[in-house]
């Protein structure tokens, strides 16, 4: 995400130089291109293929594990867990070719759904859109999954920013029990549901956790409701030394396991009973995926997945 932030800052600073007109031209382009995030975004494969993504994947290292085939003759809604602090496993595996996504799942076109506000920051939006991101709202996701060409795969970090509050190393707590919008989306389009879990996502930063009844936790939840992001106190390593504190993520292995698809019928107006049924099936499949792979990913056999 750093390149996007850099270009946003650079565009702002240009306003105070003799090249101010470049920023003005970009604002005109932003106005003309305003609806692109709601229409599936756009992607540049050459950017997704940057060698830098492979170096980033090697840093942790990142690993993408396929447990079943995802045939390109249908569409998919992938629920990715957990969010962690920055969802680095989800972003690197599904918005780049750092772990060879197109070779692992040939024929599929993945679209990472992100917060709408991230796709309207000048400069920053171009970076996200170029990696194949689209808005996480209903209009955008309906547009992607309603295309005539099959093989579309929408990736949604279901727990969202709220899960950053529980991104404590060694813990596996997911905000999922009342998150059912992704199931409704799958039912409206008859897209198969696919559970995804990134083991190690919560280990790349240290997080200051507050008690649920503390004023600090209440403040975090309130800000999250107002601004759609959750302010957390976290730290990693320094730029030049792994022993110093800083904002670089720690080099901890992240293994993203993609589960088996759950077939879903197409129901343009799904009932609550249908949504609850497939939501329950999804939760069971995700828990089974976690149990099957936790020990091979370095977790003790006693580790359990918690849903809130």
The pLDDT, as a whole number, for residue 13 is 73
- CA–CA gap between residue 87 and residue 91 (Å, rounded): 6
The pLDDT, as a whole number, for residue 30 is 83
Is 3.40.1130 the CATH number for 38-307?
yes
- CA–CA gap between residue 182 and residue 38 (Å, rounded): 17
Spatial contact of 254 and 58, defined as CB atoms under 8 Å apart? no
Residue 268 φ then ψ, to 5°: -55, -30
If you compute the radius of gyration of the chain from its CA atoms, what whole number of angstroms results? 20
Structure tokens at 129: 């859109």
The one-digit pLDDT tens for each residue of the chain (308 residues) are 555 556 667 666 777 778 877 778 888 888 888 888 888 888 899 999 999 999 999 999 999 999 999 999 999 999 999 999 999 999 999 999 999 999 999 999 999 999 888 887 777 788 889 898 999 999 999 999 999 999 999 999 999 878 888 888 989 999 999 999 999 999 999 999 999 999 999 999 998 877 778 877 788 778 777 766 677 788 899 888 877 888 899 999 999 999 999 999 999 999 999 999 999 999 999 999 999 999 999 999 999 999 99
The pLDDT, as a whole number, for residue 3 is 54
Domain ranges in the chain are 1-32, 38-307
The pLDDT, as a whole number, for residue 28 is 86
Q: Which of 197, 288, 296, 204 is nearest to 246 (CA)?
A: 204
The pLDDT, as a whole number, for residue 6 is 62
The model's pTM:
0.90
Q: Which of 83, 247, 245 is nearest to 171 (CA)?
A: 83
- CA–CA gap between residue 80 and residue 269 (Å, rounded): 24
């Amino acid at each position: 995400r750093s390149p996007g932030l850099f270009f946003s800052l650079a565009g702002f600073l240009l306003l105070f130089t003799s090249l101010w007109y470049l920023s003005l031209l970009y604002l005109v382009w932003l106005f003309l291109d305003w609806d692109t995030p709601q229409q599936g975004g756009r992607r540049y494969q050459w950017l997704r293929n940057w060698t830098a993504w492979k170096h980033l994947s090697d840093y942790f290292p990142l690993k993408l594990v396929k447990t079943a085939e995802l045939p390109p003759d249908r569409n998919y809604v992938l629920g990715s867990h957990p969010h962690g602090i920055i969802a680095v496993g989800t972003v690197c595996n599904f918005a780049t070719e750092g772990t060879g996504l197109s070779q692992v799942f040939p024929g599929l076109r993945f679209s990472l759904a992100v917060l709408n506000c991230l796709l309207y920051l000048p400069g920053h939006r171009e970076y996200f859109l170029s990696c194949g991101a689209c808005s996480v709202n209903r209009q955008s996701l309906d547009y992607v999954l309603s295309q005539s060409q099959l093989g579309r795969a929408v990736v949604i970090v279901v727990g969202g920013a709220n899960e950053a509050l529980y991104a404590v190393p060694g813990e596996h707590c997911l905000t999922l029990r009342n998150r059912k919008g992704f199931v409704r989306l799958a039912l409206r389009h008859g897209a198969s549901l696919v559970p995804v879990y990134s083991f190690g996502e919560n280990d790349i930063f240290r997080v200051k956790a507050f008690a649920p009844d503390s004023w600090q936790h209440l403040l975090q939840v309130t800000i999250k409701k107002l601004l759609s992001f959750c302010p957390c106190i976290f730290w990693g390593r320094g730029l030049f030394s792994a022993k110093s504190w800083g904002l670089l993520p720690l080099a901890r292995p992240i293994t993203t396991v993609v589960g088996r698809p759950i077939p879903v019928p197409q129901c343009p107006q799904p009932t609550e009973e249908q949504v609850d049924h497939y939501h329950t099936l999804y939760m069971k499949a995700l828990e089974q995926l976690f149990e099957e792979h936790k020990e091979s990913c370095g977790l003790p056999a006693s580790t359990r997945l918690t849903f809130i």
